[in-house]
Amino acid sequence: MNETVRQAGVAAATSTRVKEILSWYGADNVGVLTNLSRMLNHGRLAGSGRLVILPVDQGFEHGPARSFAANPPAYDPRYHFELAIEAGCNAYAAPLGFMEAGARDYAGEIPLILKLNDNDSLRDDSDPNQASTGSVEDALRLGCVAIGFTIYPGSAYEHTMYERLRAYAEEAKRHGLAVVVWSYPRGSSMGKSGETAIDVVGYAAQIAAQLGAHIIKVKLPTAHIEQDAARKVYEKQGIPIATLAERVRHVVQCSFAGRRIVIFSGGAANFDDEKLFDEIRAIREGGGFGSIIGRNSFQRQRSDAIRMLRTVMDIYAS
Amino acid sequence: MNETVRQAGVAAATSTRVKEILSWYGADNVGVLTNLSRMLNHGRLAGSGRLVILPVDQGFEHGPARSFAANPPAYDPRYHFELAIEAGCNAYAAPLGFMEAGARDYAGEIPLILKLNDNDSLRDDSDPNQASTGSVEDALRLGCVAIGFTIYPGSAYEHTMYERLRAYAEEAKRHGLAVVVWSYPRGSSMGKSGETAIDVVGYAAQIAAQLGAHIIKVKLPTAHIEQDAARKVYEKQGIPIATLAERVRHVVQCSFAGRRIVIFSGGAANFDDEKLFDEIRAIREGGGFGSIIGRNSFQRQRSDAIRMLRTVMDIYAS
Amino acid sequence: MNETVRQAGVAAATSTRVKEILSWYGADNVGVLTNLSRMLNHGRLAGSGRLVILPVDQGFEHGPARSFAANPPAYDPRYHFELAIEAGCNAYAAPLGFMEAGARDYAGEIPLILKLNDNDSLRDDSDPNQASTGSVEDALRLGCVAIGFTIYPGSAYEHTMYERLRAYAEEAKRHGLAVVVWSYPRGSSMGKSGETAIDVVGYAAQIAAQLGAHIIKVKLPTAHIEQDAARKVYEKQGIPIATLAERVRHVVQCSFAGRRIVIFSGGAANFDDEKLFDEIRAIREGGGFGSIIGRNSFQRQRSDAIRMLRTVMDIYAS
Amino acid sequence: MNETVRQAGVAAATSTRVKEILSWYGADNVGVLTNLSRMLNHGRLAGSGRLVILPVDQGFEHGPARSFAANPPAYDPRYHFELAIEAGCNAYAAPLGFMEAGARDYAGEIPLILKLNDNDSLRDDSDPNQASTGSVEDALRLGCVAIGFTIYPGSAYEHTMYERLRAYAEEAKRHGLAVVVWSYPRGSSMGKSGETAIDVVGYAAQIAAQLGAHIIKVKLPTAHIEQDAARKVYEKQGIPIATLAERVRHVVQCSFAGRRIVIFSGGAANFDDEKLFDEIRAIREGGGFGSIIGRNSFQRQRSDAIRMLRTVMDIYAS
Amino acid sequence: MNETVRQAGVAAATSTRVKEILSWYGADNVGVLTNLSRMLNHGRLAGSGRLVILPVDQGFEHGPARSFAANPPAYDPRYHFELAIEAGCNAYAAPLGFMEAGARDYAGEIPLILKLNDNDSLRDDSDPNQASTGSVEDALRLGCVAIGFTIYPGSAYEHTMYERLRAYAEEAKRHGLAVVVWSYPRGSSMGKSGETAIDVVGYAAQIAAQLGAHIIKVKLPTAHIEQDAARKVYEKQGIPIATLAERVRHVVQCSFAGRRIVIFSGGAANFDDEKLFDEIRAIREGGGFGSIIGRNSFQRQRSDAIRMLRTVMDIYAS
C-alpha cells in the first residue's frame, strides 16, 4: 500500500471548521450532515470550509455546440468527471443524462450532485420556468450526495419552482441527501441589470435559505439596486456595497448571517483569468464559501482548466 | 433546584380562562387542544387568555435588507428565537428555513408555528398568491405546536389558497396541530384602502373562521367601508365602528361571536410606541385576544424590543 | 394575571442540565427533543433533569379490583390525571381507554405517555407476550408527548415485542414523539429471582437502549446474578453491586454510560414509605434519573399519595 | 490549509485494486458501488482492497457487563466511534441504539454499517433466531453506507432470516446501500464443532453470497468436517484444508471464487495477540479480504486496542 | 423459419461492438442492457452495432388514409409486424392499438418498442403537445424491449413532455426496459427551417440524451443554423457542417460524443431511392447508428419495401 493512499484515510477526520459548519444544520438528520461533510472533506479544499464545484448543465441549458465546441473533448460526459477529479473539486454537478453516462466509471471518486430540473434555450421566455428532469430515487441509485435545483425568483413561474423544490427537498432530506439551490433572479418583473443587482441577489439568497437549501448558489452581484423599496433601506442604513468584497459580505449576511453555505458562479467563459482571480479574492475576503465554475472551466483546454481551478483553490486556501 | 423552576411546574395547571377558550374548539381532538393550551400557557401572558406572538417571515416576504438592515443582528435566525423567548412571547412563527436554522438550539423553549406558505415581493402582482413552502410533516419533525398559513381574500387566487389551507388544516388537525391563519384581504377587486376597511377585515376574519382556523390574524381595521352592499347594512344597523376599540369588538364578533381567537398585527416598524400602546389598549378594550408583532419588534435594538414587547404584555395583562 | 402564572412562562427556559440531556439524542429530530424537554421541564422537578412519572396500566395488567379497590376513587380515569397534576409529576402514562377517558378534560395540563401495548393476567403464561392496544396516530390525536411500550426480554415472545417496538418507535420518532420502554425481563428462561437480578436488569436496560428507547424503565435490581456467563465477569471485574446505589449506578452505566434516561419502578403498594424513600435516595445517589410509581401512588388515599410523591420529588430535587 | 488535509483529497482517486473489486458487482447500481468504494477507500487500509471493521453489537448479543466491564469506557457509545476512527478502521458497525447515540457527533468521519437484526442471550435457544431492530430508512437517515444482517444457516429459523435478508437487501440496494451479512452456522442440526467446520463455514459463505451479500463475514474455520456428504468430496478431491491459510483460501473460493468480499471474525477477547497476528497472516496468505474485530478490540485498553488494530492493518498492508 | 433467422440465434453471442455499446450505459441495470442487446443482436444487422427500425405511428399522427391508402395491405396491423420481420429489422415500433393487434401472433419474433405518446393532426397547433397513450405496464405485458416517447423541444409544451418522459423513463428503466426518444424540434419559437437546422437538431439530440434516452431518433439536419447565439459558435469554431456526413458526425458528437445511440429518420415517402441510399451512406460515414424508416417502407409494395430495407441494411453492414 503506498503512503499517499494511507494518508488519505488518516486525514479524513473532520476539521474544526467543518464541524462548525455542520453545527448550523441542527434540524437535519445525520445522513444530510454526512453528505455535506463528504463535500466539505473532499478535494484540494478538503477541511477548509471552502468549496469549488464543477457544474455542467450547459449542454441542456445552452445547447451542445455553444457549450462544448470551444473544447471538443468536453462533448464526452466522462471528460467532466475527470476534470473535476483531477482538479480536486469538492463535487461535480450535472443533469441525469451526463450523470448516468459516467457515474459507474468513476463511482466513489468524487461527490456528485444530481441536477433535478433544467431548462433549454430553444424558447425565449420572458418569464422562464424549469422542467423536472430527475428524481430523488435517481440521486440515490447514482450514489449522489445531494440534489441540485434551480429557481428563478421574479419569474411568473417562481411559485411553481418553489413548490417543486419544497417537495424534492423534503424527500431528499428524509433520505439523507443535501440540497443545493441555484437561485437566479429572472423574469418580466425586472430588467437584465436587475438579475445581478445587489438587493435582488441578496433577496434570492434569502429565498433559497428560507426554502431550506443547505448550499446556495448565486451570481456575483453588481452595485446596482433594482427595487425602489430596497434602495431606500440600503441608502438609509448605509449598507456598504461599493466593492465586490463588500457585496459578497452582504450576500453572506443575507444567507442567515453566514449560517448557510453560499457560493458564487464563476462567470462566462474566455474571461480574463486575472480578473477571475481578483473576483475569487473578493469572495474570500467577503466571507463567501467558494465558487461553482462551469463554462470557465470546461470551455478551455484541460491542462489550462486544471491550472486555473487549482489557482482558484489556492486563493481560497491561502 | 431553584425556586423559580419549581414554580414553573406548579403553575402549569390551566387557568379558568384558558379552559373556557379551549371549550370553544369542541370538534378538535385533544392534540389540538393541547397545542392551543401550550401557546396560551406559555410566556408572560401564560394563563391570561391573551397572546403576543413574534412572527418573522419578512425575510421572505419583503427581502432581507428591508427586513433586517435596521437591526443587523436580526439577519441571524437564532436572534428571533432568543428575542421571543426573552420577551416572554407565547409563540414564534417563521418559514421553514428560519425554523430549521434554530429549532434544535432552542428545542422546547418556546411554542413554534411553522409558516407553510410564503410570497416574495420581487414581482408585483395585482392579484397575489402564495407558494407552499413547508409541510405538516415538517411541523411535526420540528416540534411545532401549529401551522401558519396566509390567505388573500379578494385575490383572483383566493380559492387556490382556501383549498390548500383546507388540505393542510385537515392533515394538521388529524395530527394534533393547531391552525393559525393570516387573513389579508388583497387583490384587484379592492383598492388599497379596502384592504383594511372594517367590512373587509371582518369578512376576512369570518372566512378564516369558516375555513376552520383556530387562531386568526388580521390587520387593525379602519372606519372605511369598502363594499356598497356592506355599507348599507352597517349604516342601517348602526354598527358602531367609530373608535378602534369598537372596530376590534366588531371583528371579534365576526369571528364567531368571539369563540375563535383573533389577534391583530402590530403594524409597520418605526411606529410611534405610544401610538402602538394605544392600539393595544384598544384591542384589549375591544376584546381582542392579542397581537402578532413582527417588524416593530425585530427592526429595533433588542433591549428596546424587549421593553416594548413587555409593555404590550403588561397592557394585555392589566 | 397573577404572579405565579407569569413566572411559569418566564421559567420555561431550558436548564443547563436539560440541555445536556437533550444533547445525548443527536440522531433524533427536534420534535422528539421538544417532547423530551416538555417532560423534563414539567412539574415539581422541572429543569432538574429528574423525573417522577405516574403510570396507571394496572387496570389492564392486574384487573380493576386488584388495582383500584384499595382506593375506590381510583376506578375513575380522571382521578389519575388529577393525582399526577396535583402531585407535580413530570408525566402521566396510561393505556388507550384511560387516556381517552380524561384527555380532553385535562388537555395541556400534564405531558401524556400513551401505552401502546398491554397484557392482562387472565392467563398465566410462563412466556408472556403483550398485545398492541394503541397507535402512534392515537398518541398524536390525544396530544401525547411520547409512546410507551413494554418488552419482556427473556420471554419466548421477546422478538415479537422487539420488532413491534421497532416499528412503533420508527413511526413515533418521525412524528416527533419520544419513546419510553418498560423493559421487564420475564419468561421460562429465568426464575422469579432472575427478573430482578442485577445482570439481567442491566441487560434489559441495554436492550431497550439498543432498540432506540429515549427513556427506559426497569425494576430496581437485587444483588442476585442470574446468568453464569455474567457472574464470571461481575466477579472477575469486581463490579460493585453490594448496595442499591451501586446497582443503580451499574444499571445507569448499562444504559449507554448514562447517556440514556433510565428510571426505576416504585415497587408494590402498601410498601413501607421510609423504605421507599431510602430507595429513592439510592436511585439519586446512583445517578438514576427518577421513578415511575404506580400502585404505590394510587392504591392509597389521594392526600397521602400526594404527600408521598412530593417527598419523593423533594429527595430527587435535594 | 495544511498539507495533510490537501493530500486527503488528492489521494481519493480509486486504486486499481478497488476498481477491480467494484467490477465484480456489475448488477448493482452506482449508489451501491459508491458506498462499497467509501469503505474500501477509508482508513489506514484505504485503496488496498483489504478491510478491518469494528463491530459492536455485543451489548445486545451478550449483555453489557460481559461486553464492556473489562474496559468500562466502552459502555459509552461514543467510545467505539472514536476507537474505529483513531485506529483507522474502514467502517464501524452497530445496532440502532449505539448508532443513534453517536452518529451526529461523528457525522462523516467513518463509514457506518447499521445492524438491522439482533438477538440477546437471555434465552438459550438450540435453534436461534434474530429480531429485526432497524430499517433501511434508519440507515439512510443516519448516513450509513451499508446495512448489516445476521443469518444462522442450520437453525430451524434459517428461512425466516433468509427471507428477511432478501427483503431488506432488495430495499437497501435500490437505495444505493451495500449489504453486509454475518453468516454464522448454528442450530440443533449441528454440534458446537460444526459451527466452525470447514465445510459448514464454506457453505455459510456460499449461502450469504447466493442471497446477494456484497460483504460476507464468517468465523475462521477449523479442519473439522461436519457433514458426511461433504467429507466424501473433500477427501476424494483432496481439497487442502490442513493449514488455516488453506482453509481461508477454500472459503474465499466458496465465496464465488473470490468475487465477493469475505472477511473473518477476530475471535474472543483476551486472545493471545501473537496468535491473532498469525491468524491475520493466514487470512492474508489465503486471500481473505480482512477482519472484523469486536471484542478483541474494545475489551482492552484503548491505546492497546489501537496498537493491536494498527498491527493487524500493517500485516494486511504488507 | 428461414436460414438467416436461424443463424441469428446461433450467432447470438454478443459481438465486441455490441459489448462496447453496452458499456456506455453503466448506470443502467442488466435488464436495460439485455433489452438493448436484444435489439442490437436481432435481424440482418445483428451484432454490427447498427440498427434499422420500422416505426408505424402515422395512422395516429397523420390519419389512416394519408398513411395507408397508397398500400392498402398496410391498414392491417399484422402487415407491419411481418414487414419488419421479413425485412430483418432490429425492432418494430408502434402505438398501443397496432401493438395489441399483432403482438400475440408474432410473440418473440422481433423486438417491440411501444410508443407511449402520440398526437393527431386534426388540430393544427403552432405549439404542439403529445398525449400519453400507453404505459410501462402495457409495454411489459406486450413483451416489449423498450418504450418510445416523442418530445417537441421548442414547443410551449416542451416542459410537459420532458417531465412525462422523465417519469416514464424512470419506471421503464427500473423494470429493465430501454427508452427510445423521438426528439423533434417544433413550435412557435422557430420557423419550419429551424426544425431541421443543424444547431437545433444537435440541441434536440443533446436534450434527449440529458433526459436519459438510451436511443435517440432525430431528423437528418440541414446546413441551416437557426439560433444567432449558436451561429457565432459554429462560425468561430469552424464546425464542419457542409456535407450531410459532417452534419451527422456533429449530431453524433452532440449525443455525448457518440456514447448514446442516435438514429435518423428516413424521410417522407415516395422519396427517390438512390437519394435515400446516399443519405444512408452519409449516416454511415458520419458515424450514425442507423435509421428508423416508416412511411418510406410501408407506403410502397411489400416486396419493394423489403428490397429497399435490405439495401439500406447492406449499406450499413458494408
**pLDDT tens string A137-165:** 999 999 999 999 999 999 999 999 999 99
**Chains with at least 3 CB pairs less than 8 angstroms from chain C:** A, B, D
Of D185, D318, D174, the closest CA to residue D254 belongs to: D185
A6 reaches D (C-beta below 8 A) = yes
Query: Mutate which of E210, E226, E241 to disrupt the A interface (most A C-beta within 10 Å)?
Result: E210
> Residue type for D188, please?
S
Taking the alpha carbons of A248, A250, A251, A255 in that order, is the dihedral positive or negative?
positive
Taking the alpha carbons of B143, B146, B151, B157 in that order, is the dihedral positive or negative?
positive
Read out DSSP for B77-103?
HHHHHHHHHHHT-SEEEE-HHHHHTTT
Listed range (A29-38, A143-152, B251-260, C262-271) with the worst mean pLDDT = C262-271
Q: What is the DSSP letter of C126?
A: S
**Backbone torsions φ then ψ of D11, nearest 5 degrees:** -80, 0
> Residue type for C243, please?
T
Rg of chain D (C-alpha set): 19
Burial state string for D176-204 with b = 16 or more CB within 10 A and e = fewer than 16: bbbbbbbbbbbbebbeeebbbbbbbbbbb
Tell me, what's the pLDDT at C75?
Answer: 96
Contact flag D103-A175 (C-beta cutoff 8 Å): no
**Which residue is associated with the grid cell 437546422?**
E197
Q: How far apart are CA E31 and CA E36, in angstroms?
A: 9
Q: In Å, what is the CA distance from D278 to each residue of B180, C217, D285? A: 69, 46, 10
Contact flag C166-D97 (C-beta cutoff 8 Å): no
Say if strands E131-132 and E117-118 run parallel, antiparallel, or are unpaired: antiparallel
Q: What is the pLDDT of residues E162-201, one digit of tens each?
A: 999 999 999 999 999 999 999 999 999 899 999 999 999 9
Angle CA E146–E151–E155, to nearest 5 = 175
A317 reaches D (C-beta below 8 A) = yes
Q: How far apart are CA B208 and CA B262, in angstroms?
A: 10
Q: Using 50, 70 and 90 to split pLDDT, how confident is the model at A2?
A: very low
Q: How far apart are CA C214 and CA C25, in angstroms?
A: 8
Residue E1 above 80 pLDDT?
no
Tell me, what's the pLDDT at C6?
Answer: 35
D-chain CB neighbours of A109 within 8 Å are 12-14, 37
Q: In Å, what is the CA distance from A41 to each residue of A55, A84, A285, D8? A: 18, 15, 22, 8
- Extract the residue ranges of chain D whose pLDDT is less than 70: 1-13, 267-271
Give yes or no for a contact between D57 and D115, defined as CB atoms under 8 angstroms apart: yes
B109 reaches C (C-beta below 8 A) = yes
Taking the alpha carbons of B236, B238, B243, B244 in that order, is the dihedral positive or negative?
negative
Binding-face residues of B in 166-185 toward C, CB within 8 A = 174-176
pLDDT (tens digit, 0 to 9) for every residue of chain C, 318 residues total? 333 333 343 344 568 999 999 999 999 999 999 999 999 999 999 999 999 999 999 999 999 999 999 999 999 999 999 999 999 999 999 999 999 999 999 999 999 999 999 999 998 889 999 999 999 999 999 999 999 999 999 999 999 999 999 999 999 999 999 999 999 999 998 999 999 999 999 999 999 999 999 999 999 999 999 999 999 999 999 999 999 999 999 999 999 999 999 999 976 656 689 999 999 999 999 999 999 999 999 999 999 999 999 999 999 998
D97 reaches C (C-beta below 8 A) = yes
Q: Using 50, 70 and 90 to split pLDDT, how confident is the model at E123?
A: confident
Give yes or no for a contact between A204 and A210, defined as CB atoms under 8 angstroms apart: no
- As a whole-number percent, the residues of chain B with pLDDT over 90 amount to 92
Let me know if D275 is a catalytic residue.
Answer: no
Tell me, what's the pLDDT at C10?
Answer: 38
Contact flag C27-A29 (C-beta cutoff 8 Å): yes
ipTM, interface predicted TM-score of the complex: 0.93
B-chain CB neighbours of C36 within 8 Å are 108
B-chain CB neighbours of C37 within 8 Å are 107-109
Q: In Å, what is the CA distance from E284 to each residue of D284, D287, E52? A: 53, 49, 12
Give yes or no for a contact between E269 and E258, defined as CB atoms under 8 angstroms apart: no
**Which residue is associated with the grid cell 413483451?**
E143
C-chain CB neighbours of D118 within 8 Å are 162, 210
> Residue type for B35, please?
N
Active-site residue set of A: 217
CA atoms within 13 A on the CB side of A6: 11
Q: How far apart are CA E28 and CA E261, in angstroms?
A: 14
Residue A273: Cβ within 10 Å count: 15
Q: How far apart are CA C310 and CA D14, in angstroms?
A: 64
Give yes or no for a contact between A84 and A56, defined as CB atoms under 8 angstroms apart: no
D36 reaches A (C-beta below 8 A) = yes
Q: Using 50, 70 and 90 to split pLDDT, how confident is the model at E271?
A: low
Q: In Å, what is the CA distance from D243 to each residue of C185, D251, E138? A: 45, 13, 58
Q: How far apart are CA C290 and CA E25, in angstroms?
A: 60
Residue B8 above 70 pLDDT?
no
Residue A207: Cβ within 10 Å count: 32
* Minimum distance, in Å, between the CA of residue C232 and any CA atom of chain B: 41
Nearest-CA residue of chain B relative to C106? B14
A10 reaches B (C-beta below 8 A) = no
A210 reaches B (C-beta below 8 A) = yes
Contact flag D29-E26 (C-beta cutoff 8 Å): no
**Chains with at least 3 CB pairs less than 8 angstroms from chain D:** A, C, E
Give yes or no for a contact between C286 and C254, defined as CB atoms under 8 angstroms apart: no
Residue C135: Cβ within 10 Å count: 16
Q: How far apart are CA E225 and CA D183, in angstroms?
A: 64
Residue E14 above 80 pLDDT?
no
Q: Using 50, 70 and 90 to split pLDDT, how confident is the model at B124?
A: confident
Rg of chain E (C-alpha set): 18
Residues linked to residue A261 through DSSP beta bridges, in sequence order: A215
- Counting CB pairs under 8 A, whether chains B and E reach 3 or more, is no
Give yes or no for a contact between D173 and D28, defined as CB atoms under 8 angstroms apart: yes
Binding-face residues of A in 232-251 toward C, CB within 8 A = none
D-chain CB neighbours of A142 within 8 Å are 29-31, 176
Residue E210 above 70 pLDDT?
yes
Q: How far apart are CA B195 and CA B154, in angstroms?
A: 9
Q: How far apart are CA C116 and CA A118, in angstroms?
A: 47
Q: In Å, what is the CA distance from A201 to each residue of A14, A282, B70, B132? A: 32, 16, 19, 22
Question: How would you classify residue E92: left for phi > 0, otherwise alpha for psi between -120 and 50, otherwise beta?
Answer: beta
**Backbone torsions φ then ψ of C243, nearest 5 degrees:** -100, 160
Give yes or no for a contact between A163 and A195, defined as CB atoms under 8 angstroms apart: no
Taking the alpha carbons of A71, A72, A75, A80 in that order, is the dihedral positive or negative?
negative
Query: pTM of the entire structure?
Result: 0.95
**Chains with at least 3 CB pairs less than 8 angstroms from chain A:** B, C, D, E
Helix ranges, C88-145 (H) = 96-100, 136-141
**Backbone torsions φ then ψ of E141, nearest 5 degrees:** -70, -25
**pLDDT averaged over every residue in chain A:** 94
C-chain CB neighbours of D131 within 8 Å are 158-159, 162-163, 166
- As a whole-number percent, the residues of chain E with pLDDT over 90 amount to 91
Q: Could you give the angle at which helices D16-23 and D30-40 cross, rounded to 10 degrees? A: 140
Q: How far apart are CA A91 and CA A97, in angstroms?
A: 17
A-chain CB neighbours of E202 within 8 Å are 63-65
Q: How far apart are CA D189 and CA D50, in angstroms?
A: 34
> Can you tell me whether residue D225 is helix, strand or coil?
coil
Listed range (A101-115, B58-72, C119-133) with the worst mean pLDDT = C119-133
Nearest-CA residue of chain D relative to C211? D97
A95 reaches E (C-beta below 8 A) = yes
Q: What is the pLDDT of residues B196-250, one digit of tens each?
A: 999 999 999 999 999 999 999 999 999 999 999 999 999 999 999 999 999 999 9
Residues linked to residue B264 through DSSP beta bridges, in sequence order: B218, B291
Tell me, what's the pLDDT at E231?
Answer: 97
Tell me, what's the pLDDT at E125?
Answer: 87
Q: How far apart are CA C30 and CA A29, in angstroms?
A: 10
Q: How far apart are CA E243 and CA E258, in angstroms?
A: 19
End-to-end CA distance of chain A: 31
Tell me, what's the pLDDT at C124?
Answer: 82
